[in-house]
């Protein structure tokens, strides 16, 4: 991504300051933030860059070409993307194009920032940089201040002296002590001014709260290496992870991030660095008939110090005790303070049938391996044996959902998934995984308005739970609340840099035209069909068609699922195999229609592919269905370069208006 710093290389005479003040606003270049009377105004990184460039060229008209070249070098971006950024700036500043107070549009040419900038501190005399008055003076007599003579350091250079009182004093202050005192006063004055000017920023939650301790719980090693018991290694670790989800003073890496360490030898330093955690829990297990021995140790990554260790001997029919005992040990050894509600939530769960719990653990293990049909069988058996275990219902719903989307299970599986989630929440109303899974289902099936309250309620239980912030960003994206979506996803990444390792991608960067940032946000993997598809999409937007085609084709070869086949159609467009590409899309549409597969965002991508392949009628029909079924990301649809061929078609304005109406209704309801 081109930043304002890069833009300075092409625009001469650019002024650089720590802060730019205009009206009630401060543009803080050190914090990359826009403040209004001390309160932060939400801006996406690209919008911030655009505003900074305009402000730094205050009074000068910048052409659209200059701005686009600076903001999106070598990218497939239309002029409308710049228009969108300016519109977002105007919204942040509280103005409109018809009544500009800060940014004036020069018709057909570009934009000019016209607000008066307050003088920079460096423009003032050195002794008048605070409130326009001398910071500190000592009088030589009653008549007023006397200029103190300059002193000369050993090199011969003249150094300004501090004026001191020559009148008789009861005692004489040593010069070194006086310098320290003056410096201290200066610091206090500056601190008072900063606090007064930026009170909200200094009192913000991000500055007040301590970053939660980070922990990764690795799959347990199977000492005996009998394949019949291998499932315990991952699923028991997952059970402890799930148990600790409610502890706000600890961020635990999700199971998806640690799964790759199944059965592998562990190097503490490299694993800790890879997972970006300060603490690791490693362990092993040995099963001998009905007896199970688990050993574990809690390790501080930086020092390699063992913070705690333990051995648990249990009968196989008492596996549920493992998660409670290990979770309690972690909380004690890390000296975590729990709120009363957190302590209540992590209490041992009600007894569960041992056989039902084993089926649950097997189902969780299979779900993690994307073996959804087998996972469903295990979890259905678990809920059949013991229908009162909420987590089994939650993961059964997750397996139904994944099967519906990725295996074309369709409407029947979606219906089963919703029923399973609702059963889980009836048993345990505040079960966060069930709330999050159900919200995800609502988004994918066109009910994003029902998803948001669930996710916001989950965050009341633990505002530091990264997956829920990520899921909320996903929901906002469907509704076109792009800056809000970025904020939630970046909050998730701040809490857990690996939250995206579950296969999710930060599409919002893509929708904002920040293609380089989007590509940089993707995990660097070569064995995920889903992620290879999205890397291809980013490259396609940047017109890097050679690499896009390679990634699309590789994704389809790995696993020809819904998204991979859309990518294959786009690859065909690159190779001018128009008929083959259209045939793939028609086949996908047929499956979606017949089986009732959800995910209106995927349908939007089919519409994009149709548009690129030149089938405008099919593109418009699919686009209307996507918007109508819940993907009403109006800002993206309005400016998406891949839909350029549709904008002059008669049906396009009505589809765009439908998206706008849904988007505005959502905004009124939740913001």
Q: Which of the given ranges, 197-201, 330-334, 667-671, has the highest pLDDT on average? A: 667-671
Q: What is the pLDDT of residue 596?
A: 63
Instruction: Note the helical H segments in 120-174.
Output: none
Whole-number Å distance between alpha carbons of 367 and 55: 51
Mean pLDDT estimate for the chain? 80
The beta-carbon contacts of 60-64 under 8 Å, at least 24 apart in sequence, are 60/112, 61/106, 61/109, 61/110, 61/111, 61/112, 62/11, 62/110, 62/111, 62/112, 63/109, 63/110, 64/109, 64/110, 64/111
Calculate what percentage of the chain has a pLDDT beyond 90: 41
- Write out the two tokens for 54: 């305009």
Q: What is the pLDDT of residues 245-254, one digit of tens each?
A: 888 889 898 8
Q: What is the pLDDT of residues 529-541, one digit of tens each?
A: 888 999 999 999 9
Residue spans of the domains in the chain: they are 4-113, 213-348
Q: What is the pLDDT of residues 285-329, one digit of tens each?
A: 998 888 999 999 999 999 989 998 889 898 888 888 888 888 888
| b/e burial code for range 93-125 (CB count within 10 A of at least 16 → b) | bebeeeebebbebeeeebbbbebebeeeeeeee
- Write out the two tokens for 499: 């939250």
Q: What is the pLDDT of residues 542-556, one digit of tens each?
A: 999 999 999 999 999
Residue with tokens 């997956």: 467
Calculate what percentage of the chain has a pLDDT beyond 70: 80
77 pLDDT above the threshold of 50: yes
Whole-number Å distance between alpha carbons of 557 and 529: 8
Quickly name the fold that domain 4-113 has: Arc Repressor Mutant, subunit A (1.10.10)
- Write out the two tokens for 544: 């890097």
164 pLDDT above the threshold of 70: no
Higher-pLDDT residue of 247 and 525 is: 247
Q: Is the pTM of this model over 0.95?
A: no
Q: What is the pLDDT of residue 248?
A: 87
- Write out the two tokens for 302: 């930086």
Least confident range of 72-86, 216-230, 440-454: 72-86
Q: What is the pLDDT of residue 632?
A: 96
Q: What is the pLDDT of residues 170-223, one digit of tens each?
A: 333 344 444 444 444 444 444 444 434 433 333 333 333 456 789 999 999 998
407 pLDDT above the threshold of 60: no
Higher-pLDDT residue of 584 and 177 is: 584
Q: What is the pLDDT of residue 100?
A: 78
> How many CB atoms neighbour CB 230 within 10 A?
16
Q: What average pLDDT does this structure show over 322-339?
A: 87
| b/e burial code for range 540-570 (CB count within 10 A of at least 16 → b) | bbbebbeebbbbbbbbbebbebbbbbbbbbb
Q: What is the pLDDT of residues 104-151, one digit of tens each?
A: 888 878 899 988 888 765 444 333 333 333 332 333 333 333 333 333
Higher-pLDDT residue of 343 and 608 is: 608
Q: What is the pLDDT of residue 191?
A: 45
- Write out the two tokens for 275: 């997972």
Whole-number Å distance between alpha carbons of 130 and 135: 7
Cβ–Cβ under 8 Å, residues 629 and 446? yes
**Can you name the residues that pair with 286 across neighbouring β-strands?**
293
Class of domain 213-348: alpha beta
């Amino acid at each position: 991504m081109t930043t304002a710093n890069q833009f300075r290389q092409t625009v001469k005479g650019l002024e650089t300051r720590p802060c730019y003040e205009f009206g009630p606003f401060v543009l803080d270049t050190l914090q990359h933030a826009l403040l209004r009377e001390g309160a932060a105004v939400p801006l996406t990184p690209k919008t911030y860059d655009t505003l900074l460039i305009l402000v730094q060229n205050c009074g000068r008209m910048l052409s659209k070409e200059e701005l686009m070249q600076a903001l999106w070098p070598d990218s497939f971006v239309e002029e409308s993307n710049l228009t969108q950024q300016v519109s977002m700036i105007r919204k942040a500043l509280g103005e409109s194009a018809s009544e500009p107070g800060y940014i004036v549009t020069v018709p057909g040419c570009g934009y000019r920032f016209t607000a008066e900038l307050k003088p920079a501190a460096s423009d003032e005399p050195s002794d008048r940089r605070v409130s326009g008055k001398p910071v500190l003076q000592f009088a030589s007599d009653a008549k007023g201040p006397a200029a103190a003579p300059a002193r000369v350091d050993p090199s011969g250079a003249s150094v300004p002296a501090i004026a001191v009182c020559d009148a008789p004093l009861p005692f004489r202050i040593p010069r070194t002590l006086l310098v320290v005192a003056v410096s201290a006063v200066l610091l206090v004055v500056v601190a008072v001014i900063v606090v007064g000017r930026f009170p909200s920023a200094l009192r913000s939650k991000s500055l007040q709260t301590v970053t939660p301790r980070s922990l990764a719980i690795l799959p347990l090693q199977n000492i005996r290496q009998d394949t019949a018991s291998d499932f315990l290694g991952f699923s028991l670790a997952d059970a402890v992870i799930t148990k600790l989800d409610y502890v706000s003073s600890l961020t635990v890496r999700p199971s998806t991030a640690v799964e790759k360490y199944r059965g592998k030898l562990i190097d503490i330093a490299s694993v800790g660095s890879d997972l970006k955690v300060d603490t690791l829990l490693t362990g092993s297990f040995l099963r001998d008939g009905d007896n199970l021995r688990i050993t574990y140790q809690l390790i501080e990554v930086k020092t390699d110090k063992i913070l705690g260790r333990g051995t648990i001997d249990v009968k196989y029919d008492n596996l549920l005790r493992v998660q409670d005992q290990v979770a309690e040990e972690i909380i004690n050894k890390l000296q975590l303070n729990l709120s009363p509600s957190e302590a209540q939530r992590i209490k041992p769960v009600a007894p569960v049938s041992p056989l039902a719990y084993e089926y649950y653990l097997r189902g969780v293990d299979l779900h993690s391996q994307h073996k959804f049909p087998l996972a469903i069988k295990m979890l259905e058996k678990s809920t059949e044996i013991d229908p009162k275990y909420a987590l089994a219902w939650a993961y059964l719903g997750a397996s139904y959902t994944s099967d519906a989307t990725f295996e074309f299970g369709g409407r029947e599986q979606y219906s089963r998934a919703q029923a399973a989630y609702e059963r889980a929440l009836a048993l345990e109303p505040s079960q966060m995984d069930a709330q999050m899974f159900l919200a995800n289902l609502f988004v994918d099936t066109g009910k994003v308005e029902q998803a948001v309250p669930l996710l916001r309620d989950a965050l009341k239980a633990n505002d530091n739970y990264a997956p829920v912030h990520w899921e909320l960003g996903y929901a906002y994206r469907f509704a076109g609340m792009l800056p809000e979506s970025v904020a939630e996803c970046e909050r998730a990444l701040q809490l857990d840099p690996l939250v995206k390792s579950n296969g999710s991608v930060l599409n919002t960067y893509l929708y904002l035209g920040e293609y380089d940032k989007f590509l940089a946000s993707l995990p660097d993997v070569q064995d995920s069909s889903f992620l290879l598809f999205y890397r291809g999409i980013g490259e396609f937007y940047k017109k890097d068609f050679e690499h896009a085609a390679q990634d699309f084709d590789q994704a389809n070869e790995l696993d020809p699922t819904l998204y991979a086949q859309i990518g294959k159609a786009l690859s065909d467009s690159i190779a001018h195999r128009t008929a083959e590409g259209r045939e793939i899309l028609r086949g996908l549409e047929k499956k979606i229609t017949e089986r009732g597969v959800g995910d209106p965002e995927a349908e939007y991508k089919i519409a994009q592919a149709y548009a690129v392949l030149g089938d405008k009628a099919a593109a418009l029909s699919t686009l209307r269905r996507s918007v109508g079924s819940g993907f009403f990301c109006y800002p993206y649809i309005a400016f998406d370069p891949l839909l350029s061929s549709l904008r002059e078609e008669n049906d396009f304005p009505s589809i765009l208006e439908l998206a706008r109406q849904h988007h505005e209704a959502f905004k009124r309801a939740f913001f």
